[in-house]
Amino acid sequence: MRAVDLIEKKRNKEELSKEEISFLLNEYLKGNVPDYQMSAFLMATYFNDMTAGELLEFTTIMRDSGDIVKFDDVDKFLVDKHSTGGVGDKVTVVLAPILSALGMGTTKLSGKGLGHTGGTIDKFESIEGFRFSNTREEVVSIANKTGIGLMGYSDKIVPLDKKLYSLRDVTGTVPSIPLIASSIMSKKLAIQSDIIILDVKVGDGAFMKDINQAKELAKRMIEIGSGRQVKAVLSNMDEPLGYAIGNANEIVEAIETLKGNGPEDLNEVVYTIALLSLKAKGEIKDLSEGKKKIDEVINNGSALEKLSQFITESGGNGNLVNDYSLLPQPKEVMEVLSAKEGYVSKIKAEEIGKAAMIIGAGRATKEDLIDHAVGIKILKKVGDKVNKNEKIAEIYYNDSKNVEDSKNMLLDAYVIQEEKVEKQKAILEIIE
Ligand code: URA
């Protein structure tokens, strides 16, 4: 078999056999197919898509390129919630303790932020002493004590995705539905869980800019996972989730949500995913039934206690859930005032994510170091009325180098119009 023949087949919209896909991917992993040939194949895929059969085979070979992690020794109903990446997305930090307080467990891989999107690892690493587990044994030990099993990505799990993603990143082939679907699902299928819930973000700050694309991505990921229980929610990313964008400040917002003071949109996403989990576990028949159970673990403090335990077990000081001064603090605050009066119709989430990145809250490249103390707080959401010169955001920073640019990006991100605007729903669709 020759790689060039397989590239030509994909270019000509012919279907590749299982053997052909296996040859291409396995030889690429071994270094026998060079990057330039794989790049051509990825670009041909970008334009010509994959059939369902090709996609399943592609994903299976990616999954099997590394370790498969089993959690048979965690005696809980296990939920793996995955977000396709957003701005202000601290859902895992809130959801995992809630699921734990409800008697379930979380087992999932968590990532670092890149570009305008944040990552769960970075948010938790704002906590002094916190160490992300990298081995199965550590994750099992913490998950058995706290119900929360978050594991950092390692080179041993789906190494093929790492290699392919780096290539896609520099060849303009990231935003391809089959390539995103196989990349995400190969990692989901490499980790044992009882249900996979995909939070597919839609809008300005997401890979999927419109709802039809997002539906297609969700549908194809569910198809790939047909041997497992997979559900999806489509959630709005035409504004950041919640008010805090950064790292330490997102931990504070997550804690406040566990104390019952959460922003409406963050609550909506967290509750919906928790309800889907309760239903999958068989505790409720209909999504309308379980809200009280979730309210209870928030109101009685048990979900917050789970987060505190998880922080302590991971090497941090769990008391910080009641003492935010234990988190890194920024030195300076800059206020951002609205340039005009009207109603907020959109907050370009990607622009907000970049405004946070350039002051140090995120990374432009994988090698960049981040400053966990800095970030942005937006004070107005879509649908809110603003007056001219009213404060719409605050920038928390340590280094003033890019702060003016950050402010201008924030001003540009706020789209304000004269006519009244409806508040947006956070959950656009549930695909069960
Ligand atoms: N997240 C992934 O893990 N892979 C992609 O290709 C896109 C988002």
Reported as a pLDDT band with limits 50, 70 and 90, residue 334 is very high
Q: How much of the chain, in percent, has pLDDT values that exceed 70?
A: 100
Query: Mean per-residue pLDDT for 257-274?
Result: 98
Query: Mean per-residue pLDDT for 263-282?
Result: 97
Has residue 368 got a pLDDT over 90? no
How far does CA 293 lie from the centroid of its chain?
Answer: 25
Element (H, E) at 167: helix 159-169
Q: What is the pLDDT of residue 305?
A: 98
Task: Count how many Cα atoms sit within 13 Å of the Cα of residue 274 in the half-sphere of its side chain.
Answer: 30
Has residue 213 got a pLDDT over 90? yes
Considering only CA atoms, which residue is closest to atom 6 of ligand 1?
A: 180
Reported as a pLDDT band with limits 50, 70 and 90, residue 16 is very high
Q: How many CB atoms lie within 10 A of CB 1?
A: 11
Ligand 1 mutation target, pool 63, 169, 198, 207, most atoms within 8 A of CB: 207
The one-character DSSP state at 372 is T
Atom of ligand 1 nearest to the CA of 174: 6
> If you measure from the C-alpha of residue 161 to the centroid of ligand 1, how many angstroms do you get, rounded to a whole number?
9
Query: Mean per-residue pLDDT for 375-385?
Result: 98
Q: What is the pLDDT of residue 207?
A: 86
Question: Picking from 35-49, 64-78, 112-126, which range would have the lowest pLDDT averaged per residue?
Answer: 112-126
Supply the pTM of this predicted model.
0.95
- Find the residues whose C-beta lies inside 6 A of ligand 1: 84-85, 174, 179-180, 183-184, 207
| Strand 244-246 to 332-337 pairing | unpaired
Q: What is the pLDDT of residue 117?
A: 86
Reported as a pLDDT band with limits 50, 70 and 90, residue 133 is confident
For the chain, give the mean pLDDT. Answer: 95
Q: What is the pLDDT of residue 155?
A: 83
Q: What is the pLDDT of residue 72?
A: 93
Give the catalytic positions in this structure. 82, 161, 168, 183, 187
CB-based contacts of 212: which residues, under 8 Å, 6+ apart?
none
Q: What is the pLDDT of residue 394?
A: 98
pLDDT for 311-320, tens place per residue? 999 999 999 9
Considering only CA atoms, which residue is closest to atom 5 of ligand 1?
A: 180
Q: What is the pLDDT of residue 154?
A: 81
Query: Mean per-residue pLDDT for 317-339?
Result: 98
Alpha carbons 6 and 2: distance in angstroms, whole number: 7
Has residue 134 got a pLDDT over 90? no
Alpha carbons 113 and 145: distance in angstroms, whole number: 27
Alpha carbons 308 and 325: distance in angstroms, whole number: 15
Has residue 27 got a pLDDT over 90? yes
Cα dihedral across residues 54, 55, 56, 60: positive or negative: positive
382 with 345: CB under 8 angstroms?
yes
397 with 356: CB under 8 angstroms?
no
